[in-house]
Structure 1
């Protein structure tokens, strides 16, 4: 604050240094209109406060001509230049059709979803380019009102996640297939190419249970009691009863699931089918259903979408990390139905477990380094170590290498989990036609019981409360 005559000009710079304000401090406010302040005086005050960039000449002139406006009130007198954030790097999956979004189905204008617009992942040949990585674009530095550069937020590096039977080029920017087969996305969006095992009909006792390191295609049905396990995808052209299906990638069932509360379907990526009835279904990413979900236990890491022409959910418990969407939820009989969104318990538990393991690794590293330090001191003092001490030194050095490797792996996984949790969109439940009474909604720790009908409504949390808005 600079005193000039019987008044003071007080300058305040914002915390981000992108704005400076000036205020005229004077004992008698009425004297403000009588003051005579020169532009030279104002600019000297700014110079003393090191404000050199973005000075608003018009405000300086107004302060000189109309000081009363600035008495005991901060007025912006300089604006910095805000930095422009960098653009994140991207991964282009070249085996997918142009403009196809593999992760999300096409949403129509009326809110329904066209599941069949998702093209099946094609066969690829050995040596075929599967994905290319584009680097992040640097941001543009800003300028503070004090003339200092403001470092922009850097764009994040995209990560090509390698699965089975794929190779990178030397620059690690291109991903190629190492074999002929079918591409499959598995946990954490890893890209794999698997060989294909086909059953030309139903799974029966002549076929038996299937456990295949690749993608499995069933051209018929899978009855109750059978088990199909695949490292890649499982594709069933018929229906699934109370069987057990487990895929590292996605599960696609053309004619639906009627499980009679037996068996289960588990997918590392998506589960896509026409209907789910009395079944237990889990997907790491999305559950996509074109007709109905009835009296079932359904879990999805991100979304459960049941928004086809019928698109009805009745009974059971549905849990999704991001969103549950349907045309109709519940019925006129108020059948109890539980919808839970916004929580990824498995990821949060994993993160807590990783942090705990990292603490142990770092503590063991500290003790190992301490032991090696003592041995090095003995070596310096005595010039050599006894055979026992040499053996101990070798063991400690090997232990350190193992702990370092383990720590790096845990840190890498920690970053993946944190990125997935950080990328969460606000959780929501969308109903495009009618929601009936009898629904229990759970958003994290918040609970709401539906006691009246809602039409075309989105439910989401705003300021710690479950609120509604109309879907257009």
Structure 2
């Protein structure tokens, strides 16, 4: 543009997200006092770049009145309207309102808590509504400075995962109990209702080992050498010694685990207890401990939480996919303690296995289709098939149906695993009070040894290194 012989240029810049537009005045400083910029010039420059929405008239006026102030400076002259992203959906559990009132130990007259004589177990009745899906919202579109709509990011839809002894409505938005029993979440967060088997005292020689297709409630202790297995949950109102407990759902132990390096505790969902000592504990989701974890091997698919009033971890090996959190780690004696977070090797191995299985199934499908193709050619040429070829056609057709079902199941599980891996949060180790020397941290392949005390710190991986930041 020119004013007489004076030259200047209005350079329009649009942000990558198209939500901001700016103008840079390009000119020689010696020419500025002779330059006259009109609003028409500015709007014409914006129009050439299709900027039409959210134009700030005050900014345009300021540029025209005081061009010397904006030489080689990016002046914001238009702002679009950002989209409002959708809200993720959620799952509500109406049955909890009724069971929470009944659940829990009662306080006796002397102030002690009676864990052994719970008057009720949180049951649900046949036909009771257990879960309700609250759908995600789509969000609200925005508008770019060029007047084009900007699509919002839709909220993530929740997934109801019905398990055993439950039914869904036709729209697949609600889950109901199909029998009387107790709700149990098993591996992959499937919701089930299982019947209940109760032991009114200890699991000892008078009771023997237990293997029950449902939920097991033990009102006493589980002694050394005994085994309890359940397809639902296991609830122990006393303590567990060196025994073997395995539940597809969750395991709750009121008075703690003293295993003396014997037996094991394994749950498909959560393990919750007051303390763990010299034990081997594995949970598909969370391990939640109110007091202490000492000299034990503890593994959790997602989190190990030991952040009660004491919340101390000393010795042993702890592995979690997402987070380990405690008040105190180690002691003044620098007892060796190993903390590992950030990798879900079992999921990655499963994904690799699924992909390999899918390749094999697709190859078998190809061969099956090839065989059916040959038989169809024979049928077209001769008009009928010999008995052996008819038998082969039936076998191949049945094989194809089986393979198609297998592909459907593998693809479904592949999506679940991929979604879980994509949804991984940054791994962390959180210290709420103090971490003493002697701790070995492992984040994937990165290793860090603690050589001095830390207070209120979150350890994470940042720029390829294990870094500590103060917890607020």
TM-score range, shorter chain: 0.7 to 0.9
Q: What secondary structure sits across from 1:455 in the alignment? A: coil
Q: Does the 8 A contact of 1:330 with 1:435 survive in 2?
A: yes
Moved more, 214-223 or 415-424: 415-424
Matches within 5 A, 1:48-127: 48-97=48-97, 122-127=122-127
1:309–1:72 CA distance, 2 compared to 1 (3 A): closer
Q: 1:467 aligned to 2:467?
A: yes
CA distance in 1 between partners of 2:245 and 2:333 (Å): 33
**Superposed displacement of residue 140, structure 1:** 0.4
Match of 2:37 in 1: 37
Deviations 1:103-140 (A, max 9, x none): xxxxxxxxxxxxxxxxx972000000101111111210
Deviations 1:395-418 (A, max 9, x none): 555444434333332232233223
Match of 2:231 in 1: 231
Q: What secondary structure sits across from 2:140 in the alignment? A: coil
Match of 1:115 in 2: none
Q: 1:337 aligned to 2:343?
A: no
Q: Does the 8 A contact of 1:458 with 1:468 survive in 2?
A: yes
Provide the aligned length of Structure 1 versus Structure 2. 450
Deviations 1:197-249 (A, max 9, x none): 11222222332221111001112222222211101001112221221110011
Match of 1:422 in 2: 422
**Superposed displacement of residue 61, structure 1:** 2.2
Match of 1:269 in 2: 269
1:146–1:361 CA distance, 2 compared to 1 (3 A): farther
Q: TM-score, normalised by structure 1?
A: 0.87
Match of 1:14 in 2: 15
Q: Does the 8 A contact of 1:121 with 1:183 survive in 2?
A: no
**Superposed displacement of residue 366, structure 1:** 5.3
Match of 2:25 in 1: 24
CA distance in 1 between partners of 2:308 and 2:417 (Å): 32
CA distance in 1 between partners of 2:418 and 2:248 (Å): 22
Q: Does the 8 A contact of 2:126 with 2:180 survive in 1?
A: yes
Match of 2:103 in 1: none
Match of 2:117 in 1: none
Match of 1:133 in 2: 133
Deviations 1:58-106 (A, max 9, x none): 2222332333445444333222211111111111011113898xxxxxx
Mark the runs of 5 or more structure 2 residues left unpaired by the alignment.
101-119
CA distance in 2 between partners of 1:399 and 1:59 (Å): 72
Q: What secondary structure sits across from 1:429 in the alignment? A: strand
Match of 1:442 in 2: 442
Matches within 5 A, 1:185-264: 185-264=185-264
1:382–1:420 CA distance, 2 compared to 1 (3 A): same
Q: Does the 8 A contact of 2:141 with 2:149 survive in 1?
A: yes
CA distance in 1 between partners of 2:288 and 2:304 (Å): 6
Q: Does the 8 A contact of 2:324 with 2:428 survive in 1?
A: yes
Q: What secondary structure sits across from 1:97 in the alignment? A: helix
1:71–1:470 CA distance, 2 compared to 1 (3 A): closer
Q: What secondary structure sits across from 2:127 in the alignment? A: coil
Q: What secondary structure sits across from 1:96 in the alignment? A: helix
**Superposed displacement of residue 377, structure 1:** 7.5
1:7–1:357 CA distance, 2 compared to 1 (3 A): farther
Match of 2:355 in 1: 355
CA distance in 2 between partners of 1:17 and 1:121 (Å): 58
CA distance in 1 between partners of 2:23 and 2:382 (Å): 70
CA distance in 1 between partners of 2:309 and 2:76 (Å): 56
| Root mean square deviation, CA, Å | 2.8
Moved more, 188-197 or 435-444: 435-444
**Superposed displacement of residue 349, structure 1:** 1.9
Mark the runs of 5 or more structure 1 residues left unpaired by the alignment.
101-119
CA distance in 2 between partners of 1:70 and 1:250 (Å): 66
Q: Does the 8 A contact of 2:275 with 2:289 survive in 1?
A: yes
Q: 1:47 aligned to 2:41?
A: no
Q: TM-score, normalised by structure 2?
A: 0.87
CA distance in 2 between partners of 1:83 and 1:259 (Å): 55
**Superposed displacement of residue 281, structure 1:** 0.2
Q: 1:174 aligned to 2:178?
A: no
**Superposed displacement of residue 370, structure 1:** 6.2
1:24–1:176 CA distance, 2 compared to 1 (3 A): same
